[in-house]
Amino acid sequence: MANEAEERMTKTSTQQEQQHRWEPPKPGMIKINTDAAISNQSVRTGKGIIPRNWTGKLMKAKGIMERKKGTAMEEEALAVRAALVMAKAAGWMKIEVQSDCKSVVNQINASSVHDISIATVLEDIEELKEEFEECNFSFVYRTGNTCSHTLAQNAIKLVHDIEWNKEFQVWLMDIARKDMRAVAPFCN
Protein backbone atom coordinates (compact mmCIF):
# COMPACT_ATOMS: atom_id res chain seq x y z
CA MET A 1 0.00 0.00 0.00
CA ALA A 2 2.76 2.45 0.90
CA ASN A 3 4.51 1.76 -2.41
CA GLU A 4 1.32 2.50 -4.37
CA ALA A 5 0.87 5.80 -2.54
CA GLU A 6 4.50 6.72 -3.20
CA GLU A 7 4.12 5.84 -6.90
CA ARG A 8 0.97 8.01 -7.16
CA MET A 9 2.74 10.93 -5.44
CA THR A 10 5.78 10.55 -7.71
CA LYS A 11 3.57 10.36 -10.82
CA THR A 12 1.57 13.43 -9.71
CA SER A 13 4.79 15.32 -8.96
CA THR A 14 6.24 14.42 -12.37
CA GLN A 15 3.03 15.48 -14.16
CA GLN A 16 3.01 18.82 -12.32
CA GLU A 17 6.69 19.38 -13.17
CA GLN A 18 5.97 18.61 -16.84
CA GLN A 19 3.11 21.12 -16.83
CA HIS A 20 5.61 23.84 -15.88
CA ARG A 21 7.92 23.33 -18.87
CA TRP A 22 7.64 22.45 -22.53
CA GLU A 23 7.87 18.72 -23.16
CA PRO A 24 8.19 17.18 -26.63
CA PRO A 25 5.29 15.11 -27.94
CA LYS A 26 5.72 11.43 -28.68
CA PRO A 27 7.52 10.63 -31.97
CA GLY A 28 5.42 11.27 -35.05
CA MET A 29 3.31 13.96 -33.40
CA ILE A 30 3.29 17.73 -33.63
CA LYS A 31 2.73 19.72 -30.43
CA ILE A 32 1.09 23.09 -31.03
CA ASN A 33 1.32 25.62 -28.23
CA THR A 34 -1.23 28.43 -28.23
CA ASP A 35 -1.81 31.58 -26.26
CA ALA A 36 -3.82 34.76 -26.46
CA ALA A 37 -3.21 38.30 -25.27
CA ILE A 38 -5.57 41.25 -24.88
CA SER A 39 -4.86 44.96 -24.89
CA ASN A 40 -7.87 46.87 -23.58
CA GLN A 41 -5.98 50.12 -24.07
CA SER A 42 -5.53 49.67 -27.84
CA VAL A 43 -8.64 47.47 -28.23
CA ARG A 44 -6.68 44.63 -29.83
CA THR A 45 -6.15 40.95 -29.29
CA GLY A 46 -3.22 38.79 -30.28
CA LYS A 47 -2.79 35.07 -30.63
CA GLY A 48 0.42 33.07 -30.84
CA ILE A 49 0.60 29.61 -32.37
CA ILE A 50 3.84 27.60 -32.19
CA PRO A 51 3.96 24.04 -33.61
CA ARG A 52 7.01 21.88 -32.90
CA ASN A 53 7.78 18.27 -33.72
CA TRP A 54 9.02 15.58 -31.30
CA THR A 55 12.62 16.80 -31.65
CA GLY A 56 11.59 20.35 -30.70
CA LYS A 57 12.05 21.71 -34.22
CA LEU A 58 9.84 24.69 -35.00
CA MET A 59 7.52 23.73 -37.84
CA LYS A 60 5.74 27.07 -38.26
CA ALA A 61 4.83 30.11 -36.19
CA LYS A 62 1.84 32.38 -36.52
CA GLY A 63 0.85 35.64 -34.88
CA ILE A 64 -2.75 36.75 -35.31
CA MET A 65 -3.92 40.30 -34.58
CA GLU A 66 -7.52 41.48 -34.40
CA ARG A 67 -8.94 44.89 -33.65
CA LYS A 68 -11.57 44.01 -31.12
CA LYS A 69 -12.30 43.81 -27.44
CA GLY A 70 -12.18 40.15 -26.50
CA THR A 71 -12.45 38.13 -23.32
CA ALA A 72 -9.62 35.91 -22.14
CA MET A 73 -11.69 32.72 -22.36
CA GLU A 74 -12.92 33.51 -25.88
CA GLU A 75 -9.49 34.48 -27.22
CA GLU A 76 -7.81 31.39 -25.73
CA ALA A 77 -10.47 29.14 -27.32
CA LEU A 78 -10.07 30.97 -30.65
CA ALA A 79 -6.30 30.40 -30.48
CA VAL A 80 -6.89 26.65 -30.06
CA ARG A 81 -9.30 26.66 -33.01
CA ALA A 82 -6.74 28.57 -35.14
CA ALA A 83 -4.13 25.93 -34.23
CA LEU A 84 -6.43 23.17 -35.50
CA VAL A 85 -7.06 25.07 -38.73
CA MET A 86 -3.28 25.50 -39.19
CA ALA A 87 -2.64 21.81 -38.53
CA LYS A 88 -5.33 20.73 -40.97
CA ALA A 89 -3.94 23.03 -43.69
CA ALA A 90 -0.42 21.69 -43.07
CA GLY A 91 -1.63 18.10 -43.37
CA TRP A 92 -0.53 17.07 -39.89
CA MET A 93 -2.60 14.10 -38.76
CA LYS A 94 -1.26 13.53 -35.23
CA ILE A 95 -1.30 16.60 -33.03
CA GLU A 96 -1.37 17.73 -29.43
CA VAL A 97 -2.65 21.24 -28.79
CA GLN A 98 -1.38 22.78 -25.58
CA SER A 99 -2.73 25.91 -23.88
CA ASP A 100 -2.08 27.70 -20.61
CA CYS A 101 -5.84 28.24 -20.18
CA LYS A 102 -6.86 25.32 -18.00
CA SER A 103 -10.58 26.11 -18.20
CA VAL A 104 -10.64 25.96 -22.00
CA VAL A 105 -8.61 22.73 -22.06
CA ASN A 106 -10.91 21.16 -19.45
CA GLN A 107 -14.04 22.14 -21.40
CA ILE A 108 -12.61 20.71 -24.63
CA ASN A 109 -11.54 17.46 -22.96
CA ALA A 110 -14.86 17.04 -21.12
CA SER A 111 -16.84 17.91 -24.26
CA SER A 112 -18.97 20.17 -22.12
CA VAL A 113 -19.45 23.92 -22.05
CA HIS A 114 -19.22 25.83 -18.79
CA ASP A 115 -18.92 29.25 -20.41
CA ILE A 116 -21.68 29.87 -22.95
CA SER A 117 -19.70 32.72 -24.56
CA ILE A 118 -17.36 30.15 -26.14
CA ALA A 119 -19.92 27.46 -26.98
CA THR A 120 -19.73 28.00 -30.75
CA VAL A 121 -15.93 27.97 -30.74
CA LEU A 122 -15.92 24.75 -28.69
CA GLU A 123 -18.34 23.19 -31.19
CA ASP A 124 -15.95 24.15 -34.00
CA ILE A 125 -13.05 22.58 -32.09
CA GLU A 126 -15.10 19.40 -31.55
CA GLU A 127 -15.79 19.14 -35.30
CA LEU A 128 -12.21 20.00 -36.32
CA LYS A 129 -10.62 17.41 -34.04
CA GLU A 130 -12.46 14.68 -35.94
CA GLU A 131 -10.33 15.58 -39.00
CA PHE A 132 -7.21 14.17 -37.33
CA GLU A 133 -5.96 10.65 -36.79
CA GLU A 134 -4.93 11.67 -33.28
CA CYS A 135 -5.79 14.95 -31.58
CA ASN A 136 -5.16 15.64 -27.89
CA PHE A 137 -5.48 18.75 -25.76
CA SER A 138 -3.36 19.48 -22.70
CA PHE A 139 -2.67 22.20 -20.19
CA VAL A 140 0.73 23.74 -19.50
CA TYR A 141 1.59 26.59 -17.16
CA ARG A 142 2.76 29.83 -18.72
CA THR A 143 6.35 28.93 -17.80
CA GLY A 144 6.14 26.11 -20.36
CA ASN A 145 4.28 28.22 -22.91
CA THR A 146 6.58 31.24 -23.13
CA CYS A 147 7.13 31.09 -26.88
CA SER A 148 3.44 31.27 -27.86
CA HIS A 149 2.78 33.78 -25.06
CA THR A 150 5.50 36.14 -26.33
CA LEU A 151 4.25 35.78 -29.90
CA ALA A 152 0.67 36.60 -28.75
CA GLN A 153 1.95 39.69 -26.91
CA ASN A 154 3.84 40.81 -30.03
CA ALA A 155 0.86 40.07 -32.28
CA ILE A 156 -1.13 42.80 -30.51
CA LYS A 157 1.28 45.34 -32.03
CA LEU A 158 1.05 43.97 -35.58
CA VAL A 159 -0.69 45.69 -38.48
CA HIS A 160 -1.59 42.32 -40.02
CA ASP A 161 -1.11 38.62 -39.23
CA ILE A 162 2.36 37.16 -39.62
CA GLU A 163 3.44 33.60 -40.33
CA TRP A 164 6.80 31.89 -40.64
CA ASN A 165 7.18 28.49 -42.27
CA LYS A 166 10.86 27.61 -42.53
CA GLU A 167 12.98 30.53 -41.38
CA PHE A 168 12.22 32.10 -38.02
CA GLN A 169 13.13 35.32 -36.29
CA VAL A 170 16.15 34.98 -33.98
CA TRP A 171 14.14 36.22 -30.96
CA LEU A 172 11.50 33.54 -31.59
CA MET A 173 14.10 30.77 -31.85
CA ASP A 174 15.78 32.01 -28.65
CA ILE A 175 12.49 31.86 -26.74
CA ALA A 176 11.71 28.41 -28.19
CA ARG A 177 15.09 27.23 -26.91
CA LYS A 178 14.36 28.65 -23.46
CA ASP A 179 10.99 26.83 -23.42
CA MET A 180 12.95 23.63 -24.06
CA ARG A 181 15.77 24.34 -21.61
CA ALA A 182 15.44 21.01 -19.80
CA VAL A 183 14.55 19.02 -22.92
CA ALA A 184 17.16 19.81 -25.57
CA PRO A 185 20.04 22.26 -25.87
CA PHE A 186 19.10 23.50 -29.33
CA CYS A 187 16.27 23.45 -31.82
CA ASN A 188 16.31 24.21 -35.57
Tens-digit pLDDT profile for residues 94-147: 999 999 999 999 999 998 777 788 999 999 999 999 999 999 999 999 988 999
Strand ranges, E, within the chain: 30-39, 44-53, 61-66, 94-99, 134-139, 162-164
What is the phi/psi pair of residue 154, to 5°? -70, -30
Rounded to an integer, the average pLDDT of 28-54 is 96
Buried b (16+ CB within 10 A) or exposed e, 62-85: bbbbbeeebeebbbbbbbbbbbbe
In this predicted structure, the answer to whether residue 8 has a pLDDT above a threshold of 70 is no
Please tell me the CATH code under which domain 24-179 is placed.
Answer: 3.30.420.10
pLDDT for residue 183? 47
| Residue 128 contacts residue 82 (beta carbons within 8 Å) | no
- The domain ranges of the chain are 24-179
